[in-house]
Amino acid sequence: MRHLLWPLLLFVHTRHVAAAVRRGGHCFDACDLTLTYLDFNDTDRALSKKSRTCQSALHATSLYLCIDEHCVEDGREEWLDGVNGTCQNAAGISIPPWTIIDTFTPEDRAHVRRLKAEEGMWYSRGPPLNEVVLPDDDFFDRAFKTLEFAFFEIDTHWLYGIAMYYFWAAVITIGICWRLAFLIQEIRHRNFQRIPGDDLELEDVNGRKGAQVTLRAYGLLKRYILVPATFGYRCAQNIGWCTIPPRVQSLTIFAFVILNLILCCISYPVFAGNLYWPLVSTQLWRYVSDRTGVIALANFPLIWLFGTRNNVLMWLTGWGFGTYNSFHRWVARVATVQAVVHSVGYTEMVFERGNWSLFMKYLRKHYFWNGEIATVLMCAICACSVYGLRRCHYEIFLVTHIFLSIIVLLTTFYHVEIFNGEWNIFIWPCLAIWILDRALRLLRILAFNRIIWNTYATATYDSTSNIVRLKVPCEQNLVRPQPGAYYYIYVLNDLLFAHQNHPFTLAYMSSNDGADSTDGIHISRHCRADSTTSSVSSESSSLLRPTSPRSPTLTFLIRPYDGLTSRLRRICTSASRTSVRVLVEGPYGAQQPLHTFPSVLFIAGGTGIAVALSYLPSLLREDGESEVVDVHLVWAVREQALWKQVLQTDIPSMVLRDDRFRVTVHVTKDVDDGGKDADDAIDSSHIADRRYDQEVIGHVEAKGGRPNVSAAVEDAAQEVGRAGRLAVVACGPAQMADEARRACVGVLGAGYTGVEYFEESFKW
Ligand SMILES: NC(=O)c1ccc[n+]([C@@H]2O[C@H](COP(=O)([O-])OP(=O)(O)OC[C@H]3O[C@@H](n4cnc5c(N)ncnc54)[C@H](OP(=O)(O)O)[C@@H]3O)[C@@H](O)[C@H]2O)c1
Ligand SMILES: *[C@@H]1O[C@H](CO)[C@@H](O)[C@H](O)[C@H]1NC(C)=O
Ligand SMILES: *[C@@H]1O[C@H](CO)[C@@H](O)[C@H](O)[C@H]1NC(C)=O
Ligand SMILES: *[C@@H]1O[C@H](CO)[C@@H](O)[C@H](O)[C@H]1NC(C)=O
C-alpha cells in the first residue's frame, strides 16, 4: 500500500519545494528518505508518525548530519523552510534549528552509527531508535538514485505528454504553410495574367527551370502522397469494419502512433536496489503505467479539439471535418490503448503485492475505481465507434458517444483529483473546447435566425425522383454561404428526435432579386400570390407560413435513407408540400479554390449534384474572379425524374446556356412512369420541355448506364494537356469517389501534373 502511495506524495512534494529540490539535486530528499524508515524514541509515542518526525531531535540531528555530509549548502535553507512549513501545517510544530549539529565534532561524527539499507529499512518494523544514526554510503546512493530517477520520470512523463502538442503543431504548421504557398502562387499567377507578356523577358531561364523542377516535384508529391488512397484503391469505401483515410492522412496518423509508441517505450532508468520498488520489473510497471497514463491524459484535449465541428484548425488549414475526424479517431484510439496499459499496470502492481481482497480494497478508493471506469468506458466508446455501427445506427452512435464521453471526462477528473488538481490542466481544456463548440453552434443557429424556433421550411417529396426538396427561408441569415457550404439541419416537428441533425450541402441560395431562373419557384410564388386574392389555392398552401414572396431561400436536395431523412419523407408524404419547423446550423465548410482552375470536372452521383450546383454560379461568373473556361459535369442518377427536375428547376438557365458548361447525365435505372428501356427513354429533348432552346440542348447529353469515371477523368486530363490545370471534384457514393481518386492518381502518373483532386463527402 505504501509503495503505491509514495509517488502520490512525491507529486505533492515536488511542487511544494520544487525550486530547492532542483538545486539540491534531490540530495536533501535522499537523506530524508533514508530516515523515513526509522522511528526515534525521543518523542511522545501517542503522537502521529508525522508529528513525531517533526518533533524528534534525534531525527533532526540525523537528517542534518546526513545533509551536511552529502549535500552542498546551496538551497538548503529553502529546503528546510519547506520542511518546516509542512510540519507547521501538519502538526503546528517547528522543526529543531540547524544549529543543533554544531556540537558535533568530526570525531563525534565518525562514531555515529551507520545503517546499511537493509538495516535501515528493517527498522520500519523494529523497535524505535535511541540514538543519532546515518545512512552508509550505499544506502544514501540508493536513496539518491531512487529519487533522482523518480523525479526524472515525472519530468519525462510531462515532457513526452507535451510532445503530442509539438507534433500536432508541426502538422498544422505544415498545413498552414501549404495553404499560404497555394494562395501566394495563386495571387502571383493572377497578377501575371493581368499584365500579359509584361514580365516574360524579366524571368530568366534559371527561374523557369526552377519552377519546372518544383512543379515536377509537386506532381510526384501528389502522385504518391497527397492524392492516393493509403493502399490500392479503397478510401471513401469501408474495408470490412474500418475505413482507411487517404495516404497523407494515414502517414500523419502513422507518425503519430509511432511517436506515441516510442515515447511510451524509452527513458526508463531502472536499477536493482531501488528503495521504492526493489524489483526491476516493478519499476518498469510503475514507470510505464505512469507514462501511458500521462500521455493518454495529454491526448484528451486533442481528441476533443479534433472532434468538434467548430474547430479553429479546420479554418486555418482548410482541411475538412473528415480529415480532423480521422485524426480524432486515431488520437482517441491511441489514448485508449495507453489508458488500458495504465490500468493494467496498476492492477498488476496491486496483484503483485496481494490478492483479490487487496484489489477490492483499492477499488473502494475514489481515484482507483474512477480510473478503472474511465478506461472501461474509453474502450466501450472505441468499440461503439466502428464503421458499421457509425454508419447504420448513426443516431444511436452519437447519443452513446456523447453520453459516454461525458462520463469519461468526469471519472478522469475524479481519477486525477488526488494530485491536487495538477493534472486537471488536461481536463479543463476538454470542457472549454466542448463548451466553446456548443456556444459557437448556438451562435451559428442564432446568426441564421434570431428567433430560432421560427424557421419554417417547405419540404416537398417527389416519389419519382425519390428526393426531398427542402427550401428554407433565410431572410434573417447573417452569414452569406460560400460555394460548397453545408448546414446541419434539425427537424423540430417531433420533439423526441429534435436533437437529430445531419449535414447537407447547400445546393444553392435563390436570391431575392427575382433574377433566379427556377421556374418551380416562380410557379409556387404565383400560387401563393393568388391564394391571397382568390379561393383557388394549392392543396397545402394553407400549411405554409406566409413568407414574403421575395424572401431568399436555401435549397437542399435530400435523399431519404433512415433516421432524420426518412422522418422528413414521412412528414412530407402526408401532404405533397409541407411546412416543417427546422433549426439551421451553419454555414460550415471551406470553399475549395475551384475557380482558380481553367477546367473543372465534376463527378457527381445522385444527390451529390448539390456540390456541383453550389459551385456552378461562382465558377461561371463573368466578373473576372473566375478563371474557368470549361466545366464538365458527369452525373450519374438512378431516376430519370431527378435529372430532369434538376435541370429544369435548379440549374439557372443562364448557366445552362453558358458555352463553358456541359453536362453528361448517366441514368443507371429507369424508374420513370413509362417503364421503357432506359436507353430508349433517354432523349435530350426531354429537357427541352417548354423551356429551353436548342442552345441548351447542345450542352446536355444523356446516356444510359453508369459513367466510366476513369475514362471521364482521362478525357478531361487529355483535353487540358500536360501543362494545363484541371480540378476533379468527386461528390457522390463512396465507390464513385474512390474510382475518381484512382483515376486522378493514374493521370498524375501519366504526367498530367496539373490535375488536382477534391472530394466532397461527409465522413464520420
Ligand atoms: N458531399 C455532399 O455534399 C453529398 C451530398 C449528397 C450526397 N452525397 C453522398 O452521395 C452518396 C449517394 O447519394 P444518393 O443516394 O443520392 O445517390 P444514388 O441515388 O445512390 O445515386 C448514385 C448514382 O451513382 C452511380 N454510381 C455509383 N457508383 C458508381 C461508380 N463506381 N461508377 C459510376 N457510377 C456509379 C449509381 O449507379 P447505380 O444505380 O448503377 O448504382 C447511381 O446512379 C451518398 O453516400 C451521400 O453521402 C454527398
Ligand atoms: C525509549 O526511551 C525510554 C526512556 O526515555 C526507555 O525507557 C525505553 O526503554 C526506550 N525504548 C527503547 C525501545 O529503546
Ligand atoms: C519554523 O517556522 C516557524 C514559523 O514559521 C518559525 O518560527 C521557526 O523559526 C521555523 N524554524 C526553523 C528551524 O526554521
Ligand atoms: C473505362 O475506361 C477505361 C479507359 O479509359 C477502360 O480501360 C475501362 O475498361 C473502362 N471501364 C469500363 C467498365 O468500361
Residue 686 is predicted with a pLDDT of: 53
The rounded Å distance from CA 62 to ligand 2 centre is: 18
3-state secondary structure of 464: coil
Cα(473)–Cα(355) distance, rounded to whole angstroms? 67
Cα(485)–Cα(92) distance, rounded to whole angstroms? 66
Least distant ligand from the CA of 713: 4
The rounded Å distance from CA 41 to ligand 2 centre is: 6
Task: Give the atom of ligand 3 at the shortest distance from the alpha carbon of 98.
Answer: 13
**Residue 664 CB less than 6 A away from ligand 1:** no
- Residue closest via CA to ligand 3's atom 10 equals 94
| Pairing mode, strands 577-588 and 486-491 | antiparallel
Q: Are 132 and 65 in contact, with CB atoms under 8 Å apart?
A: yes
How much of the chain exceeds pLDDT 70, in percent? 85
3-state helix, strand, coil in the chain (%, to 5): 60, 15, 30
**Residue 607 CB less than 6 A away from ligand 1:** yes
Q: Reply yes or no on whether the pLDDT at 551 is more than 90.
A: no
Q: What is the pLDDT of residues 685-733, one digit of tens each?
A: 555 454 555 667 778 888 889 999 999 999 999 999 998 999 999 999 9
**pLDDT-derived band of residue 546, with 50, 70 and 90 as boundaries?**
very low
Task: Give the atom of ligand 4 at the shortest distance from the alpha carbon of 714.
Answer: 5
Cα(442)–Cα(309) distance, rounded to whole angstroms? 12
Q: What is the pLDDT of residues 284-343, one digit of tens each?
A: 999 999 999 999 999 999 999 999 999 999 999 999 999 999 999 999 999 999 999 999
The rounded Å distance from CA 432 to ligand 3 centre is: 42
Residue 697 is predicted with a pLDDT of: 73
Q: Which of 111-120, 133-142, 410-419, 674-683 has the lowest mean pLDDT?
A: 674-683
**Residue 196 CB less than 6 A away from ligand 2:** no
Least distant ligand from the CA of 716: 4
Alpha carbons within 13 angstroms on the beta-carbon side of residue 585 total 18
Helices 427-448 and 280-307 pack at an angle, to 10 degrees, of: 10
Residue 295 is predicted with a pLDDT of: 97
Using alpha carbons only, how large is the chain's radius of gyration in Å? 35
Task: Give the atom of ligand 3 at the shortest distance from the alpha carbon of 81.
Answer: 14
For domain 454-759, say whether CATH 3.40.50.80 is its number.
yes
Q: Reply yes or no on whether the pLDDT at 481 is more than 90.
A: yes
Candidates 1.10.3470, 1.10.287, 1.20.120, 1.10.10; CATH matching 159-178+220-441 = 1.20.120
What is the full DSSP assignment across 266-288? S-----TT-SS--SHHHHHHHHH
Least distant ligand from the CA of 81: 3
Task: Give the atom of ligand 1 at the shortest distance from the alpha carbon of 669.
Answer: 39
Helices 137-194 and 27-36 pack at an angle, to 10 degrees, of: 130
Q: Same topology for domains 159-178+220-441 and 454-759, yes or no?
A: no
- How far is residue 21 from each of residues 16, 80, 433, measured CA to CA in Å? 9, 11, 36
Ligand 3 neighbours, Cβ below 6 Å, are: 84, 88, 94-95, 97
Best probe residue, ligand 1, of 325, 482, 559 (max atoms within 8 Å of C-beta): 559
3-state secondary structure of 424: helix
Return the HEC string of 647-712.
HHHHCCHHHHHCCCEEEEEEECCCCCCCCCCHHHHCCHHHHHCCCCCHHHHCCEEEEECCCCHHHH
DSSP-H helix ranges across 222-355: 247-265, 280-307, 312-317, 321-353
3-state secondary structure of 193: helix
Q: Where are the domains of the chain?
A: 2-135, 159-178+220-441, 454-759
Task: Give the atom of ligand 2 at the shortest distance from the alpha carbon of 127.
Answer: 13
**Residue 131 CB less than 6 A away from ligand 2:** no
Tell me, what amino acid is at 178?
Answer: W
Q: Reply yes or no on whether the pLDDT at 587 is more than 90.
A: yes
66 versus 681: which is more confidently predicted?
A: 66
The total of other beta-carbon atoms located within 10 Å of residue 332's CB is 22
- How far is residue 613 from each of residues 521, 576, 586, 625, 631, measured CA to CA in Å? 16, 24, 18, 18, 12
The rounded Å distance from CA 93 to ligand 3 centre is: 9
Q: Which of 117-126, 233-242, 465-474 has the lowest mean pLDDT?
A: 117-126
Tell me, rounded to whole angstroms, the distance of Cα 230 from its chain centroid.
Answer: 19
What pTM value is reported for the model? 0.88
**Residue 400 CB less than 6 A away from ligand 1:** no
